[in-house]
Amino acid sequence: MDLRYGLNPQQRIAESAPVVPDRWPVRLVNGEPSFINLLDALNAWQLVREAGSALDAPAAASFKHVSPAGAAVAGPLDEVITELYGVDATAGDLTSAYVRARDADPKSSYGDFAAVSHPVDEELADVLSRVICDGIIAPGFEPGTVEKLSRKKKGRFVVIEADDSVALPQREAREVFGVRLTQERDMVPISRELLASAHLELPEAAVRDLLLGLVVLRYTQSNSVAYLHDGMALGIGAGQQSRVDCTRLAGTKADTWWLRRHPVVRALDFAPGLTRQDRINWQVRFIEGDLTPDETERLTAGLSTPATELTAAQRSEWLRERTGLSFVSDGALPFRDNVDHAARHGVSFIAEPGGSIRSTDVEQACREHGIALVHTGLRLFHH
**Count of Cβ atoms closer than 10 Å to residue 231 Cβ:** 23
Q: Where are the alpha helices (DSSP H) in 237-358?
A: 243-259, 263-266, 276-288, 293-301, 312-320, 337-344
Looking at 65, 153, 369, 382, which residue is catalytic?
Answer: 65
Whether 383 is a known active-site residue: answer yes
Instruction: Compute the C-alpha angle 210/212/216, nearest 5°.
Output: 115
Rounded to whole angstroms, the Cα distance separating 233 from 103 reads 10
Whether 118 is a known active-site residue: answer no
Residues 6+ apart with CB under 8 A from 261: 78, 80
Looking at 223, 253, 338, 345, which residue is catalytic?
Answer: 223
Whether 281 is a known active-site residue: answer no
Element (H, E) at 205: helix 204-218
Looking at 30, 43, 64, 152, which residue is catalytic?
Answer: 64
**Count of Cβ atoms closer than 10 Å to residue 7 Cβ:** 11
Rounded to whole angstroms, the Cα distance separating 334 from 331 reads 9
Q: Could you tell me what percentage of the chain is helix, strand and coil, using 3-state DSSP and rounding each to the nearest 5?
A: 40, 20, 40
Instruction: Using alpha carbons, select from 235, 236, 231, 280 the residue that is nearest to residue 96.
Output: 231
Whether 65 is a known active-site residue: answer yes
Mapping DSSP onto H, E and C, the string for 78-111 reads CHHHHHHHCCCCCCCHHHHHHHHHHHCCCCCCCC
Question: Given CA atoms 366, 367, 369, 374 in this order, what sign does their dihedral have?
Answer: positive
The residues annotated as belonging to the active site are 64-65, 223, 383
